[in-house]
Amino acid sequence: PLQLSIFHSITIWLITIFCIINLLKEIVQIIQQGKRYFREPINILEWILYTSTCVFILPFLFRLSLHFQWEAGALAIFFAWFNLLVFLQRIEIFGLHVVMCLEVLRTLIQAICIYSILFIAFGMGFYVVMAKEESHAHRSPALSILRVGMMILEPEFMDNFNEPFTDDDPYTLHFGNVSILMLAMFMLFTPIMLMNLLIGLAVGNIDAVIRDARLKRLTMQVELHADLESKLPRRFIQKVNKMIYRIYPNRLVSFLSHL
């Protein structure tokens, strides 16, 4: 069995209680909001966060350390910090920048969804001609498509293309001419054209993004206050909320009347 210190045991139990409380909170929100709950992406992210955290932490309660729980732990850490970024958009100081970041991310995802056709095209092409290379970068179709996405930043021409093409070994880069031709087309379509497209989208939409980000941040603040108000007891709301305010501008009010 896995040996845990007192500090680690206390931390594990605190995280477990925290996850259970938040999962119950999400269930209550589903009951209160109904279909509207599933229209908010942040709710889906929170379910992924709490579920992956439970998968990571529960084996420790039985003094176990399993392979899959560390994968869940990696996801939990990522979504924890990403959810923190999303929550910051409701704060006055950071809200505008966070909303702008998320709006640019949404535009990027829309562009990538269309441009993914070229990723698949080049990925499958490189898989056919470079599947047997020693680097194993294109060993399977999925790895080849992933490698094409990474080649946008760094194609590694010398290691993957130049040296195998010029070493006079028939077993390295066997389809050399076609591989170099596809690399040339890839450099034209993907790093050059895609990066210019993304820069153009970012620069062209920046004014609209700033304007929409301010309105969206105010909308989220109103929705947050409305949600908090809906969760408070009705008697408390009736005592705090004032439906009618009477103001007498010409009447002198003493300090004792406020007590």
pLDDT, one tens digit per residue, over 132-172 is 777 777 788 888 888 887 777 666 665 666 666 666 666 66
- What is residue 174's predicted lDDT score, i.e. its pLDDT? 65
Confidence of residue 106 (pLDDT cuts 50, 70, 90): confident
- What is residue 118's predicted lDDT score, i.e. its pLDDT? 85
DSSP of 79-144: HHHHHHHHHGGGSTTTHHHHHHHHHHHHHHHHHHHHHHHHHHHHHHHHHHHHTTSTT-TTSSHHHH
Residue 13, H or E segment:
helix 6-33
Token digits for 155?
């194609």
- Tell me the pTM: 0.65
Task: Write out pLDDT tens, residues 163-214.
Answer: 666 666 666 666 667 777 877 777 777 777 777 777 776 666 666 666 776 7
CB atoms within 10 A of CB 221: 15
Mean pLDDT for 19-46 is 88
- What is residue 155's predicted lDDT score, i.e. its pLDDT? 63
Closest to 148 measured CA to CA, from 111, 106, 115, 170: 115
Confidence of residue 19 (pLDDT cuts 50, 70, 90): very high
Closest to 49 measured CA to CA, from 78, 90, 85, 16: 78
- What is residue 247's predicted lDDT score, i.e. its pLDDT? 72
Domain ranges of the chain: 1-89, 96-231
Lookup result for tokens 């080849």: 144
Average pLDDT over the chain, rounded to whole? 78
12 in helix, strand or coil? Answer: helix
* CATH number, domain 96-231, options 1.10.287, 3.80.10, 1.10.8, 3.30.70: 1.10.287
Contacts of 134 (CB under 8 A, 6+ apart): 172
Give the Å distances, CA to CA, from 129 to 11, 165, 172: 52, 13, 11
Sequence length of the chain is: 259
Q: What's the half-sphere exposure (Cβ side, CA atoms, 13 Å) at 152? A: 20
Residue 194, H or E segment:
none
Lookup result for tokens 């993957």: 160
Q: Which residue has the higher pLDDT, 213 or 24?
A: 24
Using alpha carbons only, give the angle 47, 107, 200 rounded to the nearest 5 degrees.
Answer: 155
Lookup result for tokens 């579920």: 51
Of all residues in the chain, the percent with pLDDT exceeding 90 is: 16
Give the Å distances, CA to CA, from 216 to 16, 17, 39: 34, 33, 16
